[in-house]
Amino acid sequence: MPSRLRVLYSLLMVALLIIPALTIVRELIRPSDLWWTPLAMASSLPGSEDRVEVYVHGEPLAELLTGNQLWIKADTGSRPITAQEIRFRFNNLDRIRARRLPLLLVDAASCGAGAVLLLLIVTGRLAYRGERGSVAA
């Protein structure tokens, strides 16, 4: 293979390797606290009962709140805590990673295959050798 073609194919393979490599690097350097529910969108206790149950001393939090058994001490005195005052933020990182895992595996396989092809091109192993003569019967 002429050296000009080898350089051209090598540059093409490097350009094609950058695409899946950037996706993998972007996923690895992303901050882990990115997928927490924003505080303004945090769920209230009744709105989060399908995802979380909170127990205090073995009692469900909702029952303690309806029985006025949880109190907060403030500068002006004490008062019972209501269910509307309790908010929950959820970490959705596990769900997002599970959804992205197949794409990352495809990207990793593409990087591996591209690296093998780049190695074959750079070392000249893909050179066309021409046809051989006919084999005597």
Contact by Cβ (8 Å): 42, 87:
yes
Which tokens in the block code for residue 34?
A: 């990115």
Domain boundaries, the chain: 1-35+91-128, 37-90
pLDDT of residue 137: 57
Please state, in angstroms and rounded to a whole number, the distance separating the CA atoms of residues 92 and 42.
Answer: 13
pLDDT at 130 > cutoff 80: no
Mean pLDDT of 115-133: 76
User: The pTM is what?
Assistant: 0.50
| pLDDT level of residue 68 (50, 70, 90 thresholds) | confident
Percent of the chain past pLDDT 90, that is, above it, reads 2
77 torsion bin: left (phi>0), alpha (psi -120 to 50), beta (else): left
